[in-house]
Chains A and B, each alone.
Chain A
């Protein structure tokens, strides 16, 4: 395991262990009627929660050992490293854009959500100097309309219409 990998693993396995503990703890809040069955609804979740916790902790300590045994200068270099900052920002923007689209999906509908989401994704997936805004604009504007009508007419599936309901009810 490389030092950088160990650092990421430590963080991730730590989070997984905490979530597993929460997963286990939540089983005490199940509205369970013990008279229903000797094998309760909490049995497997508790087993899974406990095992995930144990395995995540094992991997956490494995990664911690690698991190601790690494030379000091390598750890300092990693701690100060900003090489992946741009990539992380783009990943964060991607997730934020997707969540925003999901939040507005019901209100805006498919045809008004997809164009800006697609345009945003096209831009995020390309280096700024190589972006072809014209092409992205055309693709983002045209393809959701085509997909909407293909689903409606070919597969009898009406995608969310949102605020365009008054117009699209004429379909």
Chain B
């Protein structure tokens, strides 16, 4: 059966199964809430949803996780517009024009346009995902271990190059992530490594517990150390009719919408480059192309559309390498990938032929959840604004409780709770010295892909590293990896020199 047929069949299944519909609606709503709350990232929303899925079947669990992901990506716009605080990193550029609109008494209009354009951006990227991912998977079927090894290395260097000011710290972060992944049996010979006598670590450091710790504990520790949780005053929003913009007016901006959606999807595909870079790139592109660039930052509708379309389009983009190659494009995709693996879903090129039902069900869930997102966010907008006034410390303590459950229940292992606490504490201190969480998580996830494929490749080539030179695609990725590392090193050196001269 063709892919499109399976896709439409999956949509039919989703729409006729009440459990799926209820779960998608509930978790889209929850995702929007977490996205809207400043300081609670999309990653944390996913980690909180994960323990709830442990006892669910694969299909329901996917509905929960993907709906939560899509909701959280869009929810960031609520606090960005009404509080001038981006709920998620990817909605930073939404504050540039969304908040000025709110200050001009056009908050309702900004919200309506933001919600509508989030939906459009998401839908356009899912359509691209539907067509592009199977093509990439088809090409990837010819990939051998050298290619996967090279893609893994390339992904790590990309993350390093965008992870902050210091390239050395970026490399160190991804290496620390890889070191975490070395615990347990090695992927080739099954030799036990770094378990220090704890048999609970024979299977490696538990991914869920480590992720829970890495994303939740640093936030709680920051709150405990700074005690800066002041209550937030939410701006009053005037009544909103429809989406605050007429259809004709919206469609007249089709070039902006399409450009932003393409930028968002493209940036999403690139490993390590997330929604924040996508929305900034789309925003700047729009500003540079505009006949009135001076209106950007003053409440320009095009700026808002560019930002929100691109950051939601990023979701579809990030799913392309994850589903087609089994290589996550971002730390959020890495969490989705590990959650899907936990539920027995194996992503990669073979999945398109062997588990086509599951892969196309994923596409269908994303497509349907996007409709839930627009409906729920529009209808419950005032409710979300009210929740934003809740003190953050109360929400964070509740999150810690759910993380305790999440860390323990993935394997029903009490040691995992210690991994959650110690991993999170290590993550906090590493963050304090400028070593980011995203490259650690990506290093941790990609380590397995790099090590097992390198071992397989070397055993095929009888231990010769030079065999890679006979694989043009692998060589291309290695060259790209070296180029991205060297260029980011050059840029950081240049920046440091400029700073020195200035001081």
Nearest chain A CB to B351's CB is how many angstroms away?
A: 26
Contact partner, A127, options B220, B227, B408, Cβ 8 Å: B227
- Known pairs A38-B463, A59-B172; A8 contacts B52 (CB<8 A): no
Residue of B nearest to A20 (CB): B179
Chain B residues with CB under 8 Å of A59's CB are 168-169, 172
User: Which residues from chain A contact B450 at a C-beta distance below 8 Å?
Assistant: 44
Whether A105 touches B417, Cβ cut-off 8 Å, given contacts A55-B168, A94-B221, A157-B54, is: yes
Residue B432 is within 8 A (CB to CB) of chain A in the complex: yes
B192 located at the interface, meaning its Cβ lies under 8 Å from any Cβ of chain A in the complex: yes
| A56 proximity list for chain B (CB < 8 A) | 172
> A70 in the interface, Cβ–Cβ < 8 Å?
no
Residue pair A39, B397 in contact (C-beta under 8 Å)? no
Determine if A37 and B401 form an interchain contact, defined as CB atoms under 8 angstroms apart. no
Residues 1 to 47 of chain A near chain B (Cβ within 8 Å): 5, 8-9, 12-13, 16, 20, 23, 26-27, 30-33, 36-42, 44-45
Within B332-370, the residues touching A (CB, 8 Å) are none
Q: Does A101 contact B (CB under 8 A)?
A: yes
If A39-B455, A91-B225 touch, whether A31 touches B191 (CB-CB below 8 Å) is yes
- B457-472: which residues lie under 8 A (CB-CB) from chain A? 458-459, 462-463
The answer to whether B405 and A91 touch across the interface, beta carbons within 8 angstroms, is no
Nearest-neighbour CB distance to chain A for B296, whole angstroms, equals: 33
Which of A27, A139, A160 contacts B394, CB < 8 Å? A139
Contacting residues, chain B, for A155 (C-beta < 8 A):
52-56
Report A13 CB to chain B, min CB distance, Å: 7
Q: Please encode chain B, from 316 to 331, with 1 for each CB lying within 8 Å of some chain A CB and 0 for all others.
A: 0000000000000000
Cβ of B193 within 8 Å of any chain A Cβ, yes or no, is yes
Minimal beta-carbon separation of A18 from chain B (angstroms):
14
In contact, A143 and B458 (Cβ under 8 angstroms):
no
Asked if residues B404 and A101 are in contact (CB atoms below 8 Å), the reply is yes
B188 at the A/B interface (Cβ < 8 Å)? yes
Query: What residue in chain A is nearest B171 (Cβ atoms)?
Result: A55
A82-127 interface with B by 8 A CB criterion: 87-88, 90-91, 94-95, 98-99, 101-102, 105-106, 110, 114, 117-118, 121-122, 124-127
Residues on the A chain within 8 Å of B175, using CB = 48, 51-52, 55
Q: Quote the shortest CB–CB distance from B422 to chain A (angstroms).
A: 8
Q: For the complex, is B202 an interface residue (Cβ under 8 Å from A)?
A: no
- Also in contact, A38 and B462, with CB within 8 A (given A51-B175, A102-B418): yes
**How far is A20 from B194 in the complex, measured between Cα atoms in Å?**
13
Q: What residues on B are CB-neighbors of A42 within 8 Å? A: 193
Q: Are B393 and A36 in contact (CB under 8 A)?
A: no
Instruction: Determine if A159 is an interface residue (Cβ-Cβ < 8 Å).
Output: yes
**Bound: A99/B415 CA distance, A:** 11
Which chain B residues (304-318) contact chain A, with CB distance < 8 Å? Answer: none
How far, in whole Å, are A71 and B396 apart by their CA atoms in the complex? 41
In the complex, which residues of chain A have a beta carbon less than 8 angstroms from the beta carbon of B251? none
Q: Does B89 sit at the interface, judged by CB under 8 A? A: no
Contact B458 A45 (CB under 8 A): no
Q: Which residues from A are CB-within-8-Å of B408? A: 105, 159-160
Q: Are A121 and B179 in contact (CB under 8 A)?
A: no
Q: Does chain B have a CB within 8 A of A147?
A: yes
Give every chain A residue within 8 A of B134 (Cβ-Cβ): none
Cβ contact within 8 Å between A13 and B168: no
For the complex, give the distance between the alpha carbons of A110 and B401 in Å: 9
Known: A8-B432, A44-B451. A125 touches B458 (CB 8 A): no
Of B172, B223, B404, B420, most buried by chain A (CB within 10 Å of CB) is B404
Smallest Cβ-Cβ distance to A128: which chain B residue: B227
Q: Inside 8 A of B476's CB, which chain A residues have their CB?
A: none
Residues in B whose Cβ lies below 8 Å from that of A37: 188-189, 455, 459
Query: Contacts A39-B188, A39-B455, A41-B189 known; A151 to B421 CB distance under 8 Å?
Result: no
Which residues on the A side are within 8 Å of B182 (C-beta)? 23, 44-45, 48
Complex: A110 Cα to B450 Cα, angstroms: 39
> In the complex, what distance in Å separates the CA atom of A90 from the CA atom of B221?
9
Chain B residue nearest in CB terms to A124:
B224
- With beta carbons under 8 angstroms apart, the residue of A8, A87, A147, A160 that contacts B225 is A87
CA distance A51 to B168 in the complex (A): 11
Cα distance A8–B430 in the bound complex, in angstroms: 11
User: Are the C-beta atoms of A49 and B179 separated by less than 8 Å?
Assistant: yes
What is the distance, in angstroms, from B26's C-beta to the closest C-beta of chain A? Answer: 10
Judging by beta carbons under 8 Å apart, are A30 and B55 in contact? no
Given A51-B175, A99-B418, A118-B401, are A41 and B186 also a contact pair (CB < 8 Å)? yes
B397 close to A95 (CB less than 8 A)? no
Query: Which residue of the partner chain A has the closest CB to B418?
Result: A102
C-alpha spacing A160/B451, complex, angstroms: 36
Give chain B residues whose Cβ lies under 8 Å from the Cβ of A36. Answer: 188-189, 191
Nearest B residue to A119 via CB reads: B397
B409 CB within 8 Å of chain A: yes
A residues 123-171 near B (Cβ < 8 Å) are 124-127, 139, 143-144, 147, 151, 155-157, 159-160
The 9 A-B pairs with the shortest beta carbon distances in the complex, nearest first, are A41-B191, A41-B186, A87-B225, A125-B393, A102-B417, A156-B55, A55-B172, A39-B455, A36-B189
Residues of B bordering A, CB below 8 Å: 51-56, 168-169, 171-172, 175-176, 178-179, 182, 186, 188-189, 191-194, 217, 220-221, 223-227, 229, 393-394, 396-398, 400-402, 404-405, 408-409, 414, 417-418, 420-421, 425, 429-430, 432-434, 447, 450-451, 454-455, 458-459, 462-463
Q: A40-B191, A98-B421, A155-B53 are in contact. List 12 more A-B contacts (CB 8 A).
A: A12-B433, A13-B433, A38-B458, A44-B451, A55-B175, A99-B421, A102-B417, A102-B418, A117-B401, A156-B55, A157-B51, A159-B405
